[in-house]
């Protein structure tokens, strides 16, 4: 079911609480009347409706939007690209788990390599959040034989190479993705739809400025994910790991960096 009527500036929660097309679309998926939801409306409203109506996977704090970026070395999965504007250490680590599971099931990547986006690839680069997430990922078991390969830089997203999955917060990821699109406006730098990971249904979010071909691309992605059972497969691979991470969610950035009070 396609929704694109909610304005980008509207309050997400307001549209979830009252009757709206985004809520109706989510309820259609939940009730089995639709196999997937595709929206070019407010991404915040889509995420809120999906989490509220479809439900999050056990342990997931906040879902993440994962965009496919084609490269000469194969697709790179970038997440989050818009949900976790103020992402936490736990959310980024959980997104690494979801990204590895998705790369294995939807992209056919064997033993996906997971990188963390930062301002340099040398160990210790980045702000306190990036440093803490890097420490946590070294000790995190990833699904499908995935492994954390360390820090990667912005050019590794469009060029590919070191990582199959690149994790960052939604603020940085959204800016990076739109920057890539603007720099190469005449060619597509990513599939015109990002899969929402961490909820129990198939949901694809397109740009608010999406045109007909963009919407068609988003629908095609949603249809493929449904046909291949990708989202249930992600849940099967990631459920236990996500729950375990959530149970250990009391770990703080200070703890991860070994800082004294």
- Quick check: is 15 in a domain? no
pLDDT at 55 over 50: yes
Q: How far apart are CA 116 and CA 96, in angstroms?
A: 9
**Closest to 79 in 3D by CA, of 34, 35, 47, 108:** 47
Reported as a pLDDT band with limits 50, 70 and 90, residue 13 is low
Residue 104 is part of which domain span? 61-194+228-256
Query: Residues 6 or more apart from 182 whose CB is under 8 A from it?
Result: none
pLDDT at 36 over 60: yes
- Quick check: is 52 in a domain? no
pLDDT at 9 over 50: no
The greatest distance separating any two alpha carbons of the chain, rounded to the nearest whole angstrom, comes to 55
- Quick check: is 152 in a domain? yes
**What pLDDT is attached to residue 4?**
41
- Quick check: is 200 in a domain? no
- Quick check: is 206 in a domain? no
Count of the separate structural domains present in the chain: 1
- pTM, two decimals, is 0.90
**Closest to 137 in 3D by CA, of 94, 105, 169, 171:** 94
- Quick check: is 51 in a domain? no
Tens digits of residue pLDDT in 106-148: 999 999 999 999 999 999 999 999 999 999 999 999 999 999 9
């Amino acid at each position: 079911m396609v929704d694109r009527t909610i304005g980008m500036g509207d309050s997400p929660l307001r549209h979830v609480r009252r009757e709206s097309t985004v809520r109706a679309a989510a309820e259609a998926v939940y009730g089995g009347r639709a196999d997937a939801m595709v929206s070019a409306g407010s991404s915040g409203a889509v995420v809120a409706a999906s989490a509220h109506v479809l439900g999050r996977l056990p342990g997931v704090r906040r879902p993440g939007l994962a965009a496919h970026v084609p490269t000469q070395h194969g697709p790179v999965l970038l997440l989050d690209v818009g949900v976790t504007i103020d992402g936490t250490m736990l959310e980024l680590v959980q997104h690494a788990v979801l990204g590895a599971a998705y790369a294995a099931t939807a992209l056919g990547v064997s033993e996906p390599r997971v990188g963390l986006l930062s301002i340099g690839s040398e160990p210790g680069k980045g702000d306190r959040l990036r440093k803490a997430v890097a420490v946590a990922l070294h000790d995190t078991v990833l699904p499908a034989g995935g492994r954390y390969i360390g820090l990667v830089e912005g050019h590794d997203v469009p060029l590919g190479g070191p990582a199959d999955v690149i994790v960052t917060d939604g603020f940085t990821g959204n800016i990076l993705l739109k920057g890539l699109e603007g720099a190469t406006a005449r060619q597509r730098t990513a599939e015109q739809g990002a899969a929402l990971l961490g909820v129990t249904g198939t949901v694809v979010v397109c740009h608010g400025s999406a045109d007909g071909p963009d919407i068609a691309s988003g629908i095609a992605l949603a249809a493929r994910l449904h046909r291949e059972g990708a989202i249930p497969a992600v849940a099967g691979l990631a459920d236990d790991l996500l729950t375990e991470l959530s149970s250990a969610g009391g770990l703080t950035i200070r703890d991860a960096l070994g800082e004294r009070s």
